[in-house]
Chain A
Amino acid sequence: MKKTIKYPFTLRQIKELRAGDLVRLSGSVFTGRDRLHKFLAEGGQPPEDMQASAIYHCGPVVVRDSGKWLIKAAGPTTSIREEPYMAGIIENFGVRVIIGKGGMGAATCAACKRYGCVYLQAAGGAAALQARGVRTVENVWFLKEFGATEAMWKLDVKGLDMVVGIDCHGNNLYDEVRHHSDMRLKEFLND
């Protein structure tokens, strides 16, 4: 059964989620990749308040069509690249949801627990489906400085299906899967 969450994300909503839960998310999300994370971690200020928001590790395919932005593809990128910056961003800007793929490290996991944040795994590469879930492009910042892929887009999304990878109770699904595969690998290499 899927749990539904909606922006703005309350601490109560976040606390109800457990690693492994299936989640359907709606509302505003900010996209951000390597350039934005580095910028924010080095003291840059977000152009809009990010309290109780979601940050989506995503560099969309965007085209401009008669004065409007159209999102053609918007799947998650590998999150672990943002590991050096993520915990600080959660702490400083009150982000409550991270969306990406592949999971994140110990520092992010600790920050999720400490400040009340979750990490959601979107289906990697399912960019056409996720683009269809984007209802409108609400805004874009750093388009010139970072380029369209790395820019900070504010998207209004509807019904994105995801899995809780890291919850705010200290559980990390990726660690469980890795641990299981470690044991199996050892068996394979010892026979």
Chain B
Amino acid sequence: MNLVEILIELIRRTTSDLPPDVEHGLRRARAAEIDDSRAALMLDAIITNVEIARRDSVPMCQDTGTLTFYFSVPAGADCVRLESAACEAVRCATARGLLRNNTIDALSGSSIDSNVVEGDAPVCIFRYHEAREVTVHLLQKGGGCENVSCQFALPDETLRAGRDLEGVRRCLLSAVHKAQGYGCAPGVLGVCIGCDRAGGYKAAKEQLLRPLDDESSVPELAALERKILKDADELGIGAMGMGGRTTLLGVKITAHTRLPASYFVTVAYMCWACRRHAVRIADK
């Protein structure tokens, strides 16, 4: 397969094949609900949908989302070529019905049917690594959950949230409560403590690439991840906000540096359709 074909296949998998850890989380959520309950009906539909999408290679959600390609490249890699291959792959995947016509010119409101505007869409992020091959992670995140992502600047008086982990906890529960079912619960929280505003959103979103069973290597963050996961369920929001026992499938938190004057807590809310896959591309 050439580079473009490899990336089309990555898109096909990401849009149609929910990662096994996320599917496992959904099945566990379903098992916790009573048969014939509202949450059970929602989760049954979601799980059947996951099976159909995988079997038929069709998008699991019609909002095929913002496509973000995270390229890890060796020094000297041809990033221009990689980015144009990603653009071409998006064009082809759209023509094949793997992606919806999902890109709008913000000024005119008209549809950019190809989903490609070089340098703008899809999003391509590059970083160097020691290995000799190129690794590509693709994340597809839809608009419903993006609309409930949010950022807090601490201290926050209304939440009585100070500049410490207790303050972070208050922000995160408040974010889940505010999202209700709008972000297509049960969702996943990607969280960044610190950074500037722009960096916070970027780092929070990247946390969504972590598998659900991955715990933070920082003990206090791992503890906070577990606590939020448990407390969010007790809010009772449930699948699609119809009430139920599982509100979140995972919480992934990272902490970065910050300026003395700023303390941002940034939340990337991901819907249950946590679409992420990766591929390694050998030299040449």
Contacts and interface: CB of A to CB of B under 8 A. Distances in A.
A163 B170 contact: no
A121 B101 CA distance: 24
Interface in A60-96: 60-63, 70, 72-75, 77-78, 80
B190 interface: no
A121 B242 contact: yes
B111 to A, nearest CB: 4
A149 B94 CA distance: 13
Contacts of A11: none
B194 interface: no
Interface residues of A, number: 51
A147 B113 CA distance: 9
Interface in A150-172: 150, 161, 163, 165
Interface stretch (B77-85, B130-138, B231-239): B231-239
Interface string A165-191: 100000001101110111011001100
Contacts, number: 170
A20 interface: yes
B46 interface: yes
A185 B173 contact: yes
A98 to B, nearest CB: 15
Nearest to A35: B109
A107 interface: no
B55 to A, nearest CB: 9
Contact of B62 (A75, A78, A176): A75
A124 interface: yes
Contacts of B58: 61, 72-73, 128, 131
A60 to B, nearest CB: 6
B101 A148 contact: yes
B52 A129 contact: yes
Contacts of A36: none
Contacts of A124: 61, 144, 181, 184, 240, 271
Interface residues of B, number: 57
Interface string B143-176: 1100100000000000110000000001001100
A174 B180 contact: yes
Contacts of A20: 38
B111 A128 contact: no
A148 B101 CA distance: 7
Contacts of B61: 73, 75, 124-127
Contacts of B101: 147-149
A149 B60 contact: no
16 contacts: A1-B36, A61-B64, A72-B59, A102-B180, A103-B241, A123-B42, A125-B61, A125-B63, A126-B61, A127-B59, A150-B111, A163-B41, A182-B177, A189-B159, A189-B160, A189-B170
Given A101-B240, A149-B102, 15 more contacts: A22-B41, A73-B58, A74-B62, A102-B241, A103-B241, A123-B46, A123-B240, A128-B56, A128-B58, A147-B101, A147-B110, A173-B243, A181-B235, A185-B174, A185-B177
Interface of B: 16, 36, 38, 41-42, 44-46, 48-49, 52-53, 56, 58-64, 96-97, 99-102, 110-111, 113, 142-144, 147, 159-160, 170, 173-174, 177, 180-182, 184, 231, 234-243, 271-273
